[in-house]
């Protein structure tokens, strides 16, 4: 099932002698340089084309992958244009900004999301026919199944297991301590995402969940410019990604086979897929792809949301008061039995209340997505050529729109780095907020993500007293700021952000 050609190439490369490996690497490097030199020869700028970023195209590769936020901002600054282009080897990439470009970007039917991410991202486990090179009908079917997971009944049934998972993980943290939220909170979100989008066979086994997270982390760390632009080159990073992908695939397939062999029906996403009669490729692709896509985005948001509330006690208090009001409204009558756990207490609040009666949590999530989601939307123009701001985007070119263009725009959001959930919503500008995407590409998992964020935030706020501290244990001044160059977790500077916590004795 996996990329057999790459696997064979990797095996052959590893078995070769050191001298042979060196020769192969040098030959490939020579080819890359030749291609790179020939990729862009600017013999005179066409006024109808976006201006090229000056300098040799090879010099763009590392900054694009390692410090994308700085690289794109410098591109706009150096060219002085709202659109510019550069080359990644032989691929042309056009970067756009501004309201008119934003409207064209999100509305154009020829700008394909799948093709854009396939070349420019590289952080999704690529298994041919399973998570890559998918037929259109399979992509549509996976989207349909994700929508089904978030219908009222399935989503309502997820509330209890998500809260129970959260209780178990938070109990493992002990009564007090200090941790990095971008490790611990992300681990918690990974657990609840496995629960929501896969099966009990995986979610009920903490060792398997931990192993899956470690493997997906290997995919992240193994994603280099070479593995994205030269996926056929059997370098060390590519081999690491291949082995991690194969193990993830094997774990998922074993869980599916165990369910089928048991003949036992379970109330989870895997059962929904099996009951629908989906082919195995769709089932495996759904779990492998959505696990990490969901965990990354929601994990980033949750880590920053809880961190922001740690540094803003006024909004932490408002959110805590809102959750307490829900508990007062929906809690069952007290019984003579033992005091219920926090998770069972929160489980008494119905889905409808979580979605419709939490304006403070909604505002906090909205603002966190604005200031701490370092997305750069990627598309490929499948044709025909398009004109944006009087500049031609040729068919076959890749197009990028950085969310920072709107979310960190001081004209739309004064003091844009400030965390302020009380901001007035931007409604005067087209696509003035794209926290959940825009146009024909809206986050398909946003309903599940919002519920996850509200449940986990509620558990944390009621379960702990905490503060943001630095590596010395003191409150950092200024508070940590999201690092948009970290395109996965937006982590702040190393050592600048920890949460110091202790169990709360808040009455329920």
Tens digit of each residue's pLDDT (9 = 90 or more) over 256-287: 999 999 999 999 999 999 999 988 888 998 89
Residue 107 pLDDT more than 80?
A: yes
pLDDT at 6: 41
pLDDT at 15: 53
31: three-class secondary structure by DSSP:
helix
Residue 35 pLDDT more than 60?
A: no
Q: What's the distance, CA 212 to chain centroid?
A: 16
pLDDT at 74: 96
Residue with tokens 């008494």: 348
d(CA 281, CA 252): 11
Please state the CATH superfamily assignment of the domain spanning residues 4-503 in this structure. Answer: Cytochrome P450 (1.10.630.10)
Residue 141 pLDDT more than 90?
A: no
d(CA 105, CA 99): 10
Enter the tokens of residue 471. 């590596």
Q: Is 170 exposed, middle or buried (0-12, 13-18, 19+ CB in 10 A)?
A: buried
Residue 314 pLDDT more than 80?
A: yes
> Can you say which residues are annotated as belonging to the binding site for heme?
443
Domain ranges of the chain: 4-503
1-15, 50-64, 201-215, 483-497 — which one is most confidently predicted on average?
A: 201-215
d(CA 247, CA 203): 17
The chain-wide mean pLDDT, for the chain, equals 86
pLDDT at 19: 54
d(CA 273, CA 146): 10
- 131-135, 427-431, 499-503: the lowest-pLDDT one: 131-135
d(CA 102, CA 502): 45
For CA atoms 490, 492, 494, 497, the dihedral sign is negative
d(CA 348, CA 332): 7
Residue 125 pLDDT more than 70?
A: no
Instruction: Provide mean pLDDT across the span 242-254.
Output: 93
268: three-class secondary structure by DSSP:
coil
Residue 37 pLDDT more than 90?
A: no
DSSP strand pairing (91-96 vs 83-88): antiparallel
pLDDT tens digits, residue range 185-204? 999 999 999 999 999 999 99
Provide the β-strand partners of residue 400: 95, 378
> Can you say which residues are annotated as belonging to the binding site?
443
Residue 5 pLDDT more than 50?
A: no
d(CA 480, CA 383): 43
Residue 91 pLDDT more than 90?
A: no
pLDDT at 289: 87
Residue 2 pLDDT more than 50?
A: no
Instruction: Provide mean pLDDT across the span 387-414.
Output: 95
For the chain, the first-to-last Cα distance in angstroms comes to 51
pLDDT at 39: 44
Instruction: Provide mean pLDDT across the span 207-224.
Output: 89
């Amino acid at each position: 099932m996996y990329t057999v050609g790459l696997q064979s190439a990797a095996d052959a490369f590893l078995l070769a002698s050191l001298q042979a490996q060196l020769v192969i690497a040098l030959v490939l490097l020579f080819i890359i340089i030749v291609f790179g030199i020939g990729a862009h020869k600017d013999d005179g700028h066409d006024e109808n084309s976006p201006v090229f970023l000056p300098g040799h195209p090879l010099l763009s590769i590392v900054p694009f992958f390692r410090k994308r936020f700085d690289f794109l901002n410098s591109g706009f600054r150096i060219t002085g244009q709202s659109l510019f282009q550069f080359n990644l080897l032989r691929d042309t990439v056009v970067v756009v900004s501004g309201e008119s470009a934003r409207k064209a970007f999100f509305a154009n039917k020829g700008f394909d999301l799948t093709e854009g991410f396939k070349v420019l991202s590289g952080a999704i486990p690529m298994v041919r026919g399973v998570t890559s090179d998918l037929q259109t009908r399979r992509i549509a079917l996976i989207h349909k199944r994700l929508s089904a997971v978030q219908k009222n009944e399935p989503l309502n049934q997820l509330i209890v297991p998500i809260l129970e998972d959260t209780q178990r993980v938070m109990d493992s943290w002990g009564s007090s301590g200090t941790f990095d939220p971008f490790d611990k909170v992300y681990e918690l979100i990974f657990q609840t995402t496995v629960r929501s989008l896969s099966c009990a066979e995986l979610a009920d086994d903490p060792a398997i969940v931990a192993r899956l997270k470690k493997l997906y982390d290997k995919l992240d760390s193994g994603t280099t410019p070479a593995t994205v632009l030269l996926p056929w080159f059997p370098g060390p990073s590519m081999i690491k990604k291949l082995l991690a992908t194969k193990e993830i695939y094997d774990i998922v397939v074993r869980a599916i086979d165990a369910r089928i062999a048991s003949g036992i029906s379970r109330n989870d996403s895997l059962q929904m897929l099996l009951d629908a009669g989906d082919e195995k490729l769709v089932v495996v692709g759904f779990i492998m792809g959505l696990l990490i896509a969901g965990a990354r985005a929601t994990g980033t948001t949750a880590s920053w949301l809880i961190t922001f509330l740690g540094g803003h006690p006024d909004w932490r208090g408002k959110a805590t008061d809102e959750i307490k009001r829900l508990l007062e409204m929906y809690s069952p009558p007290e019984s003579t039995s033992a005091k219920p756990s926090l998770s069972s207490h929160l489980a008494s609040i119905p889905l409808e209340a979580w979605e419709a009666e939490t304006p403070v949590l909604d505002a906090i999530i909205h603002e966190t997505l604005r200031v701490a989601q370092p997305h750069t939307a990627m598309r490929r123009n499948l044709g025909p050529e398009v004109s944006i701001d009087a500049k031609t985007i040729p068919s076959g070119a890749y197009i990028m729109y950085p969310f920072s263009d709107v979310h960190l725009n001081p004209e739309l959001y004064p003091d844009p780095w400030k965390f302020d959930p009380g901001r007035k919503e931007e409604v005067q500008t087209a696509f003035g907020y794209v926290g959940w995407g825009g146009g024909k590409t809206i986050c398909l998992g946003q309903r599940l993500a919002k519920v996850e964020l509200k449940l986990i935030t509620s558990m944390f706020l009621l379960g702990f007293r905490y503060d943001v501290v630095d590596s010395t244990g003191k409150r950092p001044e200024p508070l940590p700021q999201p690092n948009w160059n970290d395109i996965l977790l937006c982590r702040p500077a190393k050592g600048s952000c920890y949460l110091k916590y202790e169990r709360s004795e808040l009455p329920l």
